[in-house]
Amino acid sequence: MAIPLLPKLNRLPIGLSEGAVAIALEEGVPVFRASSAVQERIEVLLEKQMDGG
């Protein structure tokens, strides 16, 4: 199974401030941690997607 590549970014989104997301390596696996504000935004977007809009 191939691992999809992440898109190349020229800049970070405006709402993504320093400390909003962290990447740590745990037992060789990258773990993404997000601030509560980022988590809440992801939840809103997922709910919109599930509602069809």
Distance, in Å, from the CA atom of 18 to the CA atom of 45, rounded to the nearest integer, reads 21
DSSP one-letter code for 16: -
> What is the average pLDDT across 4-33?
81
Tokens (6 digits) for 28: 């060789």
The per-residue pLDDT for 1 is: 65
Q: Shortest CA distance to 22 belongs to which of 7, 3, 11, 36?
A: 36
List of residues 6+ apart from 19 with CB closer than 8 A: 35
Distance, in Å, from the CA atom of 35 to the CA atom of 52, rounded to the nearest integer, reads 26
pLDDT band at 48 (very low <50, low <70, confident <90, very high): very high
The per-residue pLDDT for 15 is: 67
